Structure 1
Amino acid sequence: MRQRPTGWFTLIAVLLVAWGLLGCLSLYLHIAYGPDIDPAATDWDRAFYAALPAWLNAVYAVAVGTGLLGSIALLMRSRLARPLYLVSLIAVIVQFGTLFLTTDLIAHKGVVVATGFPIFIALMAVFQIWFAGYAQRRGWLG
């Protein structure tokens, strides 16, 4: 039986939808402008971007798309939130794993600059999975 969630559940769900929308905006800017959106982009940045395989954009789209859909499902109190978030996390791991294991990004940018935000993104994905599971155990998702 579905229980009525607390007010903070809805607040977190709305914030997660906003996070998903920001991810989609980031994907759009990445595809539409690439490194040219950054006035500090170097020749290395441009070459790095040009060398990325096209399939990596598809993985990026899966990561942000399923993350946003998971957040919408969470807001709608659907059990689909958790599996959508899980797909998103897998895509995040593939995306950043590919970048870190097959390129010299860390050597050029440094470990903190190269990994700081990707680690935060992965932690957010883990939080989303946990939160959807918590909401499901509390009976807030149907």
Structure 2
Amino acid sequence: MIGKETTGAPRWFRLAALVLILWGALGVAACVSQLLYGADAMGAASDYDRALFAQLPLWYRLDYAIATGTLLAGALALLFRSRHAVAFLTVSLVAVLIQFGWMFAMTDILAVKGPYTLYFPLLIMAIGALALQLAHVGRRRGWIV
């Protein structure tokens, strides 16, 4: 909004932004590692893991980079109280939904590895949704503009 005044963000908001920056940095590091080293980046990979990684389309890898990069950018935008946080975190959440939606709908990973493979992706989605909600709260309360 033009002319909207900002108010000081509370300490918990800044702390949440710092935690999200750490989470985002870990995500970017995991993405870079996996793109550089393949399935073995996460430890000893099974033959299934190597085959699955080898079949991932290029767009999927790009989507992974977008998901992690925009989360980190959005977290930094939150810390610096930038209105761009909402856009970055929206793009990140959409990219995560595309990434995991494709993975679970278009591969046999659930049949091979079981339903426990959903836990970490669900955590990633939940954190992404909470980060976006935090940006909206910050925007409504004038903590970011």
TM-score bracket for this pair, using the shorter chain length: over 0.9
Q: Partner residue of 1:98?
A: 102
Task: Figure out how many residues of one structure are paired with residues of the other and give that number.
Answer: 141
Aligned with residue 46 of structure 2, among 38, 42, 45: 42
Q: What's the CA shift for 1:38?
A: 4.2
Aligned with residue 132 of structure 2, among 124, 129, 132: 129
CA distance in 1, matches of 2:33, 2:139: 34
Determine if the alignment matches structure 1 residue 56 to structure 2 residue 60.
yes
Q: For residues 32-87 of structure 1, give each alpha carbon's deviation from its aligned partner in whole angstroms, at most 9, with x where no partner exists.
A: 11122344321111111111111101000110111111111111101110111011
Q: CA RMSD in A?
A: 1.0
CA distance in 2, matches of 1:38, 1:93: 21
**Which structure 2 residues correspond to residues 81-96 of structure 1 after superposition, within 5 A?**
81-96=85-100
CA distance in 2, matches of 1:71, 1:116: 23
TM-score, length-scaled by structure 2: 0.93
Q: Partner residue of 2:30?
A: 26
Unpaired stretches in structure 1, ≥5 consecutive residues: none
Whether the 8 Å CA contact 2:34–2:42 is kept in 1: the answer is no
Q: Partner residue of 2:14?
A: 10
SS at match of 2:144: coil
Taking every aligned residue pair, what percent have the same amino acid on both sides?
Answer: 41
Q: Partner residue of 2:118?
A: 115
SS at match of 2:99: helix
After superposing on structure 2, the runs of 4+ consecutive aligned residues of structure 1 that deviate more than 6 Å are none
Q: What's the CA shift for 1:96?
A: 0.5
CA distance in 2, matches of 1:5, 1:40: 44
Flag the 1:98–1:141 CA change in 2: closer, same or farther, 3 A. same
CA distance in 1, matches of 2:85, 2:14: 14
Flag the 1:36–1:9 CA change in 2: closer, same or farther, 3 A. same
CA distance in 1, matches of 2:83, 2:10: 17
Amino acid at match of 1:133: H
Unpaired stretches in structure 2, ≥5 consecutive residues: none
Q: Partner residue of 2:75?
A: 71
